[in-house]
Structure 1
Amino acid sequence: MNISWEWLTELVDLSNIKPEDVAEKLTLAGLEVDNISYNGSKGIILEISTTANREDALSIIGIAREISAVLDRPLILFKNKLPLKIHHQKISKNNKNHTYSIRGSITNITITHTPEWLKRRLKINNIEPINVLKDIQNFIYLKWAQHIDFFDSDSLGLNSSDKLDTSLKTGFRIRQEQLLKKNSQFITKNKLQNTTIHSSKNRIALARISTPAEYIATPKTTNLLLQVSKFNSPVVDSAAEVLNLYTQNIHSDKKNQKTIDLLDAYHECIFLITCLCFGSIQNTTYIHKNNYIYPYIKLPTQDIIFTLGSDFITSDNDLTSIQNISINILKKLRFIIWKEKQYLIIETPLDRFKDVSRGIDIIEEISRIHGFNKFTGTIPDCKKYGLKRIHHHRIIHIRSILRTVGLSEVIHSSLVERKYIEPIICNPVIKECHAIRSSLINSIINTYAYNLQQCNSPIEIFEIGRVFKYKNSQYEEAIHLCGMIGKGNNIRSKWQDNLRGLSWFEAKGIMEEIFERIGTRILWKPLDLSLDLYKEFEPYFFTASTSVLYCQNQIIGLFGTIKTPKFKLSVYDENVYGFEIFIDKMNYQLANTNYFKSYPKYPAVTRDVTVTIPCNISFHTVINEIQRINNPLIESVDLLNLYKNEIQYSGSKRLGFRIKYRSSSGTLTSETIENIENMLKCSISHTFTN
């Protein structure tokens, strides 16, 4: 935005202050001054960049208010107001699309030439003068960020005796007839709901989108109608998209002009028109909602002290003086404050609702006006150097293992669009990212699918990142490991066989190798539908081919086939598997794991043992029974096969185990091994068949 120094001196007392000083103060306060140019014909010009959250600084008045607060100089507002008789009218509660409107008329105007001072102000902002009415309209928008529409009353069939609150109405209706012209063609969209401005005789405009050219004021206009309206932006955007009409009005409406400056802008507009074009002022109607509840922020004084620290608080300042300093700063920024003993109750200005909604936002405003340069900018000397936690080294170890297995690491943002149970963010940066992720699997699947959509080969990926959940009325933060395995049809068992994808058990083998390298034992169990885990991950995994992973009777994650019909990954969807592991819980188990033992001097003896047990007894139960015996000669026990025969073994099944025996003191004999096997069979038979 280009701002004339001459114009600023008319709005703020800048005596004995240089443009460079103003630029430095504004930049420190958050409004960056990109350049100061000295132009002979245009004078001194400040080029100022505003941030997206500062809608209040999108006008000359907004910048002037900011300079007044930063420099602690008085603001010189528009004083030449004409005595207007304003008729107030309340908007119906049912009309949720209409925010406010102000309308008035001036009769018997005479179009004159635009004065040089007005032309100069417009040219500084690269706006070419057109005619005095259009130039006044652009000037008001530049100064106040308020767009005022000018209509020709004669073209609308209105006269000075008409009452504006009845002759001109704003309504929400279903358009089933021809209403507006675009490129000399009538627009016909059946059952399209739009906000319209209409008189008793004509439909004037499709609100904030388009107005027929025959109704707009021209240099030949003698009777002028002024209209300012604000409507529900989503309704206007939806209508513009359907009609394929994108105009300057829509762009200005997106700036969310507020009622805070509406009457001042209207007063100055009337004043300029009557001074430059003469004419007689007629009725003025202000339509608004007067039942708005203004939110407030309760800010403890201790929060200000704790956040801003000793650079803001001196030893002589007590709570009362801190409050007074804060109140003086906030009043400059047009906040309304009620002072209590231990805290401040603060009401935010209408044009600052979006970017100032929390106590920390208020503290930032205080520090901004106080001056960021007054706070310490040096890092204190560190005499002791800390060490990285064991947890950090474990994550590096896990990351290294996954890379050696062949997985590629990806990183996603923690800010996501809410789909299921993700916690909502109070002040999102953009609407599309208004939540924080509660799991990693959705982002992993989207990345995998996007890679395929770009006609790339399938990749196996993983991510280690933080997730956030809301449980028991509080937020919890954890570190998860998530990934996808499966590269399509790239496996052949025999040379003559066709290529096939990765099977579930082959993918399970990869996971077991990963856990073995990490150094933890994992127990695989079918997914229990009563678990909260099922409700959270049901959209992503097939229930029938999903297992829950346990470590010492604690759930640490799950593994299964990705539910691809929703995500449409590829033609090899059934060969794509995903997993999500809770690293924090797994690391807790790692802390109790023995990593090293002496290398055995004597050879191991491997024997296969078959036992018969009831069908309702799981493999893990038998393993636990063998481990309970705790024979020091048993080194490992693995399941070899499972056999069921309803005719021969009714209600029973046979399990084959491969047991490895080893002694640290000598070579084992057959007699010793047979004694151990008989003991195992007797214990299992006694435990599970009786």
Structure 2
Amino acid sequence: MRISLNWLQEFVDVKLSPQELGETLTLAGFEVEDIDDRRQLAAGVVVGKVLSRDRHPNADKLSVCSVDVGSDAPATIVCGAANVRAGAFVPVAVPGVYLPAIDLKLKPTKLRGVRSEGMICSLTELGVEQSSDGIHIFASEGESGSETLHPGSDVRPLLGLDDVVLDLTTTANRADALSVVGIAREVAALTGAPLRLPSAPSEAIDASQAGETLSIVLADTDACPAYIGTTIAGVTIAPSPLWMQWRLQAAGVRPINNVVDVTNYVLMEWGQPLHAFDRDRLQAVAGDASVAIGVRLARAGESLVTLDGQARELQPQNLLIAANDVPVALAGIMGGETTEVNDGTTSLMLEAALFEPVAIRRSARVQGLRTEASSRYERGVNQAELNRACQRAIGLLVELAGGTVVDQAAADTRLEPSQWSRLVELRLNRVNALLGPVQTDDGSVGQIESEDVERILKALGCTLQKFGGTAETTGIVWKVTVPPYRYRDLEREIDLIEEIARLYGYDRFLNELPDRTTSGGYAPAQRATLQVREALRAVGLTELVHYSLVKPCGEEVTLANPLFAEYSALRTELLSGLIDAFAANWARGNGALNGFEIGRCFWQEADDLHETEVVAGILGGDRAPLGRWAAGGRSEPLSWFEAKGLLETAIARLGLHVEYRAVPDAGDRLHPGRTASLWLEGEQLGIFGQLHPQLQRDRDLPAATYAFSWELSLLQAALTREDRLRPCLQPYSLYPAVARDIAFFAPLELPVNCFIRVMRKAGGTLLENVEVFDEYRGEHVPEENRSLAFSLVYRAPDRTLTDEDVEPLLQQVRDALVSAFDVTLRS
């Protein structure tokens, strides 16, 4: 936002220098990015009167002019402009003047043998315009038409160059500061200077000249809570007065004509976007002298040519202004070309409206169009001053373009004016608890006093009612009434405390570090997550990161205001993103992307939203991609047991033990016969299995690709148990182990894990390890059975075990298997 100091001075007396004002605003949260001192563009340039013009003796296109520049004797200046003439008042740069626009310092010189003592300037050379045809010639009176020109006087007030422009950035919550009035309020609050707001006289409607009926129809009152349409007849299109052009140029807006410039002027002054329609064109588009202005969403197939000449295909998200249901403007963004004000316009329909930020943001994004108006609507326009800004524009239009207000119609669903303010409770002890010690006015260290709080908030336009407590106990509480123009961003006590901090001065808060500091660290759950991440990396998996937002395709939680349709829902699981990443890398010849991801998943139950952290992964491809020569150049897919072994290695690094159980229903994404659930300490940790063959064919994946998904909270709970946070060291046994084998016939439906669990329980404390090493199905094996062989390892910490020690323990295992499963022992 570019703020002209001359414009600002109209509303508040600024006694600070531009640099001091810029520093004050920056400390208050409005970062001043640049200070454009326009006074330097024509410093030292004076008004000159051309007394005579003679042809240059040695050049056909040059003239030798005698120019009165207010000194004792006229100056002789050689000029190459074709429009120079005797009697003209012109800007003259005398010797010693520096012109930054063309990087030139004037000094006396000779041009084709004739001495020249200065330069008659064009507006381009003074930095006012991009290009100029010839030198600038003032009218016989001052440019504003109110003062007489005097040779030797400063030209800057005549060209609008006696100004300084501050280019500042406002935060997203301060929509009220996107205006000169908004910044004037801030400066008044920061400096204590009185505030003078521009008057907005009410123009009476001339009933005798009332023409066609104007009506307003709001189809969507949520998107457009208020709309005011005013018909002004008998206007004359002409250039704006120079003072208005200068202020618009300082604000970065190109002057067009008096009508358009008034709407832009009020936009910059009050932050309220306006739009002027040519009333006659509006009636022609509507097809009737009686025009009903409507606000509605676009329908399929509609289009509109906007003021920039672009034919735009309208989408259902576009909010439109319609005349008798015919689109004439993109609401809050840009008007239409068919109803724009032109040189032949004689009557207007002035629009002043409120549009909801979400509706305008969505509409502008769909069209890829952002304007000064939409940027303000997207942040939220002050609803309390809509009528005032409208009256201000009407007054300027009547003053500068003539005409008469003949009709006005409005539709208003806003709250009552009494409800435009908000009551917020503020506690002094809460202010000091959050802001801490500060440097007081006398230089000592103290706390913000109640008088400071009241002074700051009253300067912002708040009213305060104090009750409860005393200054000694810091128990003072206020009921603060927020002014209507800050209704959108001052909602809670913390918002008021932030305003107190801003205006008290961030530079007055103490910056000493505390006497004592404590070392930081991770919480137990965070350390557990880091352990899981480290373990999975250690077995060769790469960590992947995907967006939490996905394209909706089922029961996902959808966003109310998504940026893109492809990212409009919250993911419910991680495997889809991992499969997509694996498939993309495989298709591009990058090999198998064996990776894992730790992230949040979301779901909805009834009206409640839930989220949890999940760790998931995918792996597959060639078991030895760098050693294929050992297999004769053939690719050997990773087997189910090898993939399972990698995960077991990772889990073992965490000091945990999981059990595998068969899954009756693996879904349509995992192989029905090669999927198992994982159980940790009696709770289901997650699932592991091979991807379904149909999915593998559809996505053109390797022959054997595996995936897993675990609940991170269960891993965190197991890793943060007291016995694992403080592990006890156990020495290794120095004595040899004794191995025994056991074999038996078992039913096919019983998983191996069931036998291992029973053997571990029956084997006693000396049983160190149980491992299956053989499975056989076929001849000599009973039907619906298989032969399983296990190796059991026994070890004692204090001696070498003998057969007499091991045999009773092994018999306990045999008895337990027969009792639990009715197996047929073979050994």
Contact 1:297 1:358 in 2 (8 A): no
Deviation at 1:115, TM superposition (A): 1.7
Deviation at 1:2, TM superposition (A): 1.9
Tell me the amino acid that sits aligned with residue 6 of structure 1: N
- Closer, same or farther: CA 55–18 of 1 in aligned 2, 3 Å: same
Contact 1:484 1:579 in 2 (8 A): no
Name which of structure 1's ranges 206-215 and 372-381 shifts more when overlaid on structure 2.
206-215
The answer as to 2:274 corresponding to 1:130 is: no
The answer as to 2:411 corresponding to 1:287 is: yes
* Residue 381 of structure 2, aligned match among 216, 232, 257: 257
Listed one character per residue, the Cα deviations across residues 456-506 of structure 1 (whole Å, up to 9, x for unaligned) are 444333455788999999999987654433356866697258424433322
* Residue 580 of structure 1, aligned match among 710, 734, 738: 710
Q: Find the counterpart in structure 2 of residue 102 from structure 1.
A: 228
Query: Equivalents in 2 of 1:94, 1:652: separation in Å?
Result: 72
- Closer, same or farther: CA 544–655 of 1 in aligned 2, 3 Å: closer
Deviation at 1:104, TM superposition (A): 0.9
Deviation at 1:549, TM superposition (A): 2.9
Contact 1:489 1:572 in 2 (8 A): no
Q: Find the counterpart in structure 2 of residue 549 from structure 1.
A: 678
Q: Find the counterpart in structure 2 of residue 12 from structure 1.
A: 12
Normalised TM-score (structure 1): 0.78
The answer as to 2:782 corresponding to 1:622 is: no
Query: Equivalents in 1 of 2:245, 2:778: separation in Å?
Result: 99
Query: Equivalents in 2 of 1:479, 1:177: separation in Å?
Result: 44
Secondary structure (helix, strand or coil) at the match of 2:436 reads: helix
- Closer, same or farther: CA 375–438 of 1 in aligned 2, 3 Å: farther
Point out the structure with max Rg over C-alpha: 2
* Residue 485 of structure 1, aligned match among 619, 624, 627: 619
Name which of structure 1's ranges 266-275 and 662-671 shifts more when overlaid on structure 2.
662-671
Tell me the amino acid that sits aligned with residue 650 of structure 2: I
Q: Find the counterpart in structure 2 of residue 406 from structure 1.
A: 540
Q: Find the counterpart in structure 2 of residue 267 from structure 1.
A: 391
Deviation at 1:77, TM superposition (A): 0.8
Correspondences of 1:139-154 after superposition (within 5 Å) = 139-154=265-280
The answer as to 2:701 corresponding to 1:571 is: yes
Q: Find the counterpart in structure 2 of residue 638 from structure 1.
A: 771
- Closer, same or farther: CA 363–411 of 1 in aligned 2, 3 Å: farther
- Closer, same or farther: CA 465–345 of 1 in aligned 2, 3 Å: farther
Deviation at 1:636, TM superposition (A): 1.1
The answer as to 2:404 corresponding to 1:276 is: no
Q: Find the counterpart in structure 1 of residue 593 from structure 2.
A: 459
Listed one character per residue, the Cα deviations across residues 320-343 of structure 1 (whole Å, up to 9, x for unaligned) are x75x76565445445677777686
* Residue 679 of structure 1, aligned match among 812, 818, 825: 812
Secondary structure (helix, strand or coil) at the match of 1:134 reads: helix
Secondary structure (helix, strand or coil) at the match of 2:731 reads: coil
Contact 2:562 2:568 in 1 (8 A): yes
Secondary structure (helix, strand or coil) at the match of 2:411 reads: strand
- Closer, same or farther: CA 374–507 of 1 in aligned 2, 3 Å: same
Correspondences of 1:239-388 after superposition (within 5 Å) = 254=378, 256-290=380-414, 299=425, 301=427, 303-311=430-438, 322=450, 326=453, 329-334=456-461, 358-382=492-516, 385=519
Tell me the amino acid that sits aligned with residue 584 of structure 1: Q
Deviation at 1:247, TM superposition (A): 7.4
- Closer, same or farther: CA 350–307 of 1 in aligned 2, 3 Å: same
The answer as to 2:793 corresponding to 1:660 is: yes
Correspondences of 1:15-26 after superposition (within 5 Å) = 16-26=15-25
Contact 2:424 2:482 in 1 (8 A): no
Deviation at 1:23, TM superposition (A): 1.8
Secondary structure (helix, strand or coil) at the match of 1:591 reads: helix
Q: Find the counterpart in structure 2 of residue 519 from structure 1.
A: 655
- Closer, same or farther: CA 248–378 of 1 in aligned 2, 3 Å: closer
Listed one character per residue, the Cα deviations across residues 79-111 of structure 1 (whole Å, up to 9, x for unaligned) are 252344699989667655433211112222334
Deviation at 1:672, TM superposition (A): 4.7
Deviation at 1:76, TM superposition (A): 1.4
Name which of structure 1's ranges 268-277 and 603-612 shifts more when overlaid on structure 2.
603-612
* Residue 738 of structure 2, aligned match among 601, 605, 611: 605
Deviation at 1:276, TM superposition (A): 1.8
Query: Equivalents in 1 of 2:376, 2:613: separation in Å?
Result: 44
Structure 2 unaligned residues grouped into runs of 5+: 40-160, 207-212, 469-475
Tell me the amino acid that sits aligned with residue 403 of structure 1: R
Query: Equivalents in 2 of 1:434, 1:403: separation in Å?
Result: 31
- Closer, same or farther: CA 42–573 of 1 in aligned 2, 3 Å: farther
Query: Equivalents in 1 of 2:21, 2:747: separation in Å?
Result: 87
Deviation at 1:71, TM superposition (A): 3.0
Contact 2:294 2:325 in 1 (8 A): no
- Closer, same or farther: CA 438–200 of 1 in aligned 2, 3 Å: closer
Name which of structure 1's ranges 283-292 and 460-469 shifts more when overlaid on structure 2.
460-469
Deviation at 1:33, TM superposition (A): 0.9
Secondary structure (helix, strand or coil) at the match of 1:610 reads: strand
Name which of structure 1's ranges 262-271 and 468-477 shifts more when overlaid on structure 2.
468-477
Name which of structure 1's ranges 19-28 and 638-647 shifts more when overlaid on structure 2.
638-647
* Residue 350 of structure 2, aligned match among 226, 229, 241: 226
The answer as to 2:185 corresponding to 1:65 is: yes
Listed one character per residue, the Cα deviations across residues 148-181 of structure 1 (whole Å, up to 9, x for unaligned) are 22223334459xxx99xx6332154876898755
Query: Equivalents in 1 of 2:363, 2:792: separation in Å?
Result: 74
Deviation at 1:380, TM superposition (A): 0.8
Normalised TM-score (structure 2): 0.66
* Residue 499 of structure 1, aligned match among 626, 635, 650: 635
Query: Equivalents in 2 of 1:428, 1:179: separation in Å?
Result: 24
The answer as to 2:36 corresponding to 1:34 is: no
- Closer, same or farther: CA 540–38 of 1 in aligned 2, 3 Å: farther
Structure 1 unaligned residues grouped into runs of 5+: none
Contact 1:558 1:581 in 2 (8 A): no
- Closer, same or farther: CA 393–219 of 1 in aligned 2, 3 Å: closer
* Residue 217 of structure 1, aligned match among 333, 336, 341: 341
Query: Equivalents in 1 of 2:583, 2:169: separation in Å?
Result: 39
More helix by share: 1
Query: Equivalents in 2 of 1:196, 1:465: separation in Å?
Result: 41
- Closer, same or farther: CA 362–449 of 1 in aligned 2, 3 Å: farther
Q: Find the counterpart in structure 2 of residue 55 from structure 1.
A: 175
Secondary structure (helix, strand or coil) at the match of 1:676 reads: helix
Deviation at 1:211, TM superposition (A): 4.9
Identical columns (%): 26
Contact 2:221 2:413 in 1 (8 A): no
- Closer, same or farther: CA 236–463 of 1 in aligned 2, 3 Å: closer
Query: Equivalents in 1 of 2:302, 2:459: separation in Å?
Result: 51
Tell me the amino acid that sits aligned with residue 170 of structure 1: G
Name which of structure 1's ranges 186-195 and 481-490 shifts more when overlaid on structure 2.
186-195
Tell me the amino acid that sits aligned with residue 143 of structure 1: E
